[in-house]
Amino acid sequence: MLNENLSRVRKERSLTQEALAIKLNVVRQTVSKWEKGTAVPDADTLCRIADALDVPVVALLGDSAYEEQQDTESIAKALAQINEQLAIRNRHTATVWKILCLFSLIVIGLLIGRVHWEANHENSEIRLPDIADVSDVRFSSDDEELTCFFVPSIGNEDITYMVTLTTTDKSMSGVATAAQYENGICNASFDKSTLSGSAGYYAVLTIDYHGEVRNVKLADGLCFDEDSCSWQP
């Protein structure tokens, strides 16, 4: 190949790339590109290179087909072939790099997706504290419903919040209803027809997350009438 022959002959002449570049009035980087095979000189320049190295052009081309005919047209044809080979190699290299880049992007995308999934998965798996707590407990009463509001210390739509009202004197079995969780606040509504307004109640919250259960007492001495209610925290 031209690049290998050029490098070999230059070294045989004990010339550095810089020295050859000076002889040819080009920069050293140009000589380096010729020897690396990333660029090819034109026919006139190749003749000048051969003169500078004191070798026939064929010694650089390395093709016996041009031993007898070393005119500019023949040299140009030889260089055209070399250029074509270089272009094919460059296209092949570019294709390989594109495939490698695409493969790298796919791998990076999969890794990022996995990290994101694991982070979301970890965030979705919560743990209930040993002692659960609530705040801002209040009750409201109207003609049909008694509603309990509270803010749980652990809030999540996957948690089941169940509020149970039990009469203080145990005269009636407990009445339970699920609380709705929204924007950090829970509310549980009871049909007043299932309750006795004359009885006193205590309210207990049961927090259930995948079978892990915590109980919290919300209120004692809960009493209510048509439009008001009272309780002890």
170-219: pLDDT as tens digits: 877 789 999 999 989 999 999 988 888 778 899 999 999 988 999 999 99
pTM score, two decimals?
0.47
Over 50: is that where the pLDDT of 67 sits?
Answer: no
pLDDT band at 130 (very low <50, low <70, confident <90, very high): confident
Average pLDDT over every residue of 53-67: 73
* 19 Cβ contact list (under 8 Å, min separation 6): none
Over 50: is that where the pLDDT of 69 sits?
Answer: no
* 222 Cβ contact list (under 8 Å, min separation 6): 139, 165, 200, 201, 202, 203, 229, 230, 231
* 169 Cβ contact list (under 8 Å, min separation 6): 199, 200
Over 80: is that where the pLDDT of 93 sits?
Answer: no
Over 60: is that where the pLDDT of 123 sits?
Answer: no
Over 60: is that where the pLDDT of 124 sits?
Answer: no
**35-39, long-range: CB < 8 A, 24+ apart:** 35/3, 35/6, 35/7, 35/10, 36/3, 37/1, 37/2, 37/3, 37/4, 37/86, 37/89, 38/86, 39/86
Average pLDDT over every residue of 137-166: 91
Burial of 60 (0-12, 13-18, 19+ CB in 10 A): buried
